[in-house]
Amino acid sequence: MADADEVITRALTEDIAGGDITTDALIPADARGTFALISKDKGVLAGIDVFTLVFKKLDKDVVITTRAKDGDHLNYRDVIATITGSVSALLKGERTALNLLQHLSGIAGKTAEAVETVKDYQLKILDTRKTIPGIRRLQKYAVCVGGGYNHRLSLNDMFLIKDNHIKAAGGIREAFKRAKSYDAKKLIEIETATLDQVREAFDVRPDVIMLDNMDDATMKAAKDIIGRLCKTEASGNVTAGRLITLARLGVDYASIGALTHSVRAHDFSLKMQ
């Protein structure tokens, strides 16, 4: 995980570049000990390799035994791993390791809840680019661990023609024409917010038509226009309570920014044994 290595290096530098005066003052340099990683909630594990890499960067002789893997469901008081090594190194890496593991597991757990809600339907759960700068790939990895799918990793992956692009280009048809001319092999998605825009987008037959912030009645009407000739994505106001409705309307994708931009961290503790 090249991305993880870079993220961890930055995080450790941020936290302990000037040293850890508490640990340095209280703990002998040669002290060794064992710590247990414990889940304090139900959820889904994601980022255990990232967690262990933190300690491996601080103590080359650390011994880590994991009892769960990414994607496993967690329960309260589950012991996920034991870590034996330099007490000083483990204390210095504790917060960074837990921060990353808690965040990624929170994403996986939230995604898994959404996926479970629509498991009997064709609707696929997507993430968005509403990610924390610098850790996007880790966040999107966690979405996949939870059973979701990645939208775009970056702006180069596919065309997503949104309202500002449409206005700047002079309309949906012209925007689509320019995108197709620029790279005919890339997928093209067009954002719509009204039924008139849906009809205009449908006329050019993009790969996906985004139905943005539409109420249920408008979305149903949009689906009636599009049928199965283009894929559809619901975006905006996609809440857990609305997923079943979207699924029953026959929408193909639901993108949820909250999976990455405001997810609640899974609660873990690291306790010395």
Q: Give me the active site residues, please.
A: 95, 130, 162, 191, 212
CA separation for the pair 166, 169 (Å, rounded): 5
Give residue 269's Cα distance to chain centre. 22
Triad 181, 183, 187: Cα angle to 5°: 110
Cβ within 8 Å of residue 168, ≥6 positions away: none
Q: Which among 85, 44, 49, 86 is positioned nearest to 66, based on CA atoms?
A: 49
Give residue 140's Cα distance to chain centre. 4
CA-to-CA separations, 167 to 22, 161, 162, 172, in angstroms, rounded: 57, 10, 9, 8
Which amino acid is it at 177? K
Strand pairing category for 188-192 and 208-212: parallel
